Amino acid sequence: MPKEKTLVLIKPDGVLKRHIGEIMNRFERKGLKIIGLKMLNVKIDIAERHYSEHKGKPFYNDLIEYITSGPVVAMALEGIDSIAIVRKLVGSTDGSKAEPGTIRGDFSMSINLNTIHASDSQKSAEYEIPIFFSNGELLDFKMPDEKYM
Ligand code: CMP
């Protein structure tokens, strides 16, 4: 299995309900490596680029309005098979249906305010990461425990 990079956004409800630390801890304790990290207010043009695949869908305007409504934490995570592993930790899209134990299952009761976004494929990750991080903002370093992962 190759090492993959993936993008995670802690959405405004996750930040404003003070869940940043616990969410990041779930990724770290699993063994994922945080290689990029920032907190930002997402501007409309960035939101539209990030969610371009949803343009025209009934929920698109609410989605753009919501993601630009408050602070977001953006993270680039790296690890073997990290895209699928992160999606498992995140849980299914609708927080009201997501399994307990997953991030959405534990912190969200909604499909719109679903606490977190994670890239759903290699193609999405390659598209989404550069929207939030320049090459120089992604760090290349080794963890001392990598041989156990
Ligand atoms: P996210 O993973 O950020 O990707 C697109 C977002 O659109 C999704 O999480 C949901 O918050 C939101 N959304 C709202 N309605 C729907 C829907 N019917 N299907 C998929 N996503 C939806």
> DSSP per residue over 35-78, as a string?
EEEEEEEPPHHHHHHHTGGGTTSTTHHHHHHHHTSSEEEEEEEE
Distance of alpha carbon 60 from alpha carbon 52, whole angstroms: 9
Number of domains comprising the chain: 1
Quote the Cα angle for 48-19-77, to 5°: 60
pLDDT mean values, one per 10 residues, the chain (149 residues): 94 98 98 98 98 98 98 98 98 98 98 98 98 97 89
Would the pTM of this model clear 0.85, i.e. be above it?
yes
Q: Return the pLDDT at 15.
A: 98
Q: Does residue 75 sit within a domain?
A: yes
Instruction: Calculate the CA dihedral of residues 109, 112, 115, 121 and round it to 10 degrees.
Output: 120
Q: Does residue 28 sit within a domain?
A: yes
CATH code, 60? 3.30.70.141
Residue 9 Cα: closest atom of ligand 1 = 3
Q: Does residue 147 sit within a domain?
A: no
Q: Does residue 113 sit within a domain?
A: yes
Q: Return the pLDDT at 52.
A: 98
Q: Does residue 149 sit within a domain?
A: no
Which of left, alpha, beta for 56 (phi over 0: left; psi -120 to 50: alpha)? left
31 within 8 A of 44, measured Cβ to Cβ: no
Residue 90 Cα: closest atom of ligand 1 = 2
Q: Does residue 143 sit within a domain?
A: no
Query: Which among 105, 89, 85 is positioned nearest to 97, based on CA atoms?
Result: 105
Nearest CA to ligand 1 atom 18: 59
Q: Does residue 37 sit within a domain?
A: yes
Catalytic-residue membership of 117: yes
Distance of alpha carbon 121 from alpha carbon 7, whole angstroms: 10
Q: Return the pLDDT at 11.
A: 98
Q: Which domain holds residue 94?
A: 3-134
Q: Does residue 141 sit within a domain?
A: no
What separation in Å is there between the alpha carbon of 55 and the centre of ligand 1?
12
